[in-house]
A and B are shown apart, each in its own frame.
Chain A
Amino acid sequence: MTQHKRPMSPHLQVYKPQLTSVLSIIHRGTGVGLAVGTLFITWWLVAAASGPGPYEATREFYGSWFGQLVLFGFSVCLFYHLCNGVRHLFWDAGWMLEIEDVYRSGWVMLCASVVLTFIAWFIGLSL
């Protein structure tokens, strides 16, 4: 059988990154990040239920620089996935599907997630 050299669909490596595709990839990435984050939430809850000793260990961890980094990463993933998730729900309802709307909502969503993360850490650090 003769092999035809058919055109291939563009691979990520050779395809110019665009806001639409990059935001979509980050949405999946943050989703996986949140899945990893559930390990930390579960650990915290189980430790609290186990008694003061294990609970203090979680407080010590979340107070350390690495623990703070984990919390920061989790908060970034949470707010990004939340804001872009709302954007997805709008699309599912059939709204804002024109390409300029997709770009505009992308930037709005990005700003909203940065602002929400900033507000959360402002409140968290002033408590």
Chain B
Amino acid sequence: MSLESPLGRVRGLGTAKEGTGHFWHQRLTAIALVPLTFLFVIIMFVFFGADHARAVALMGNPLVATVMLLFLLTGFYHMKLGMQVVIEDYISHEGAKIALLLCVTLGTVALATASVFALLKLALGS
């Protein structure tokens, strides 16, 4: 027996099967970001005043590169989830909402790709 209403069946809009996915991913990344943020701040102190040669050498340290990668990837995903909620909450105009959500999703992927590529280029040597 289907619990769907006749109208619901005609529209074909059922559950997206994602349930608490967004909520859970935001919390999961938040938990990961607590230690990662402290490590990121410490790494930023190490980079303080570094010239280019020293900055490249520091990024070549596997520990530094790994923490930076984790912080950036987790942070960008957390940011995408958070900005999505802000837009969904405050932008009521449907067209503007979809346009902004597109901008946030594509912009986050672009920024994350650029920063990860730059980090790997520095870490692995150019």
Contacts and interface: CB of A to CB of B under 8 A. Distances in A.
A89 B52 contact: no
A55 B52 contact: yes
Report the interface size class on chain A: 20 to 34
Nearest to B52: A52
B114 interface: yes
Given A39-B111, A123-B45, A32 B86 contact: yes
B115 A46 contact: yes
A56 interface: yes
Interface in B16-47: 27, 30-31, 33-34, 37, 41, 45
B19 to A, nearest CB: 16
Contact of A92 (B27, B37, B53, B83): B27
Nearest to B79: A35
A35 B82 contact: yes
Contact of B34 (A50, A55, A85): A85
B121 A49 contact: yes
Contacts, number: 73
B118 A48 contact: yes
Contact of B30 (A41, A89, A120, A123): A89
Contact of A127 (B45, B86, B111): B45
Contacts of B111: 38-39, 42
B109 interface: no
Contacts of B118: 42, 45-46, 48-50
B55 A55 contact: yes
A120 B41 contact: yes
A18 to B, nearest CB: 19
Contact of B83 (A32, A42, A48, A51): A32
Interface of A: 28, 31-32, 34-35, 38-39, 41-42, 45-46, 48-52, 55-56, 59, 78, 82, 85-86, 88-89, 92, 120, 123-124, 127
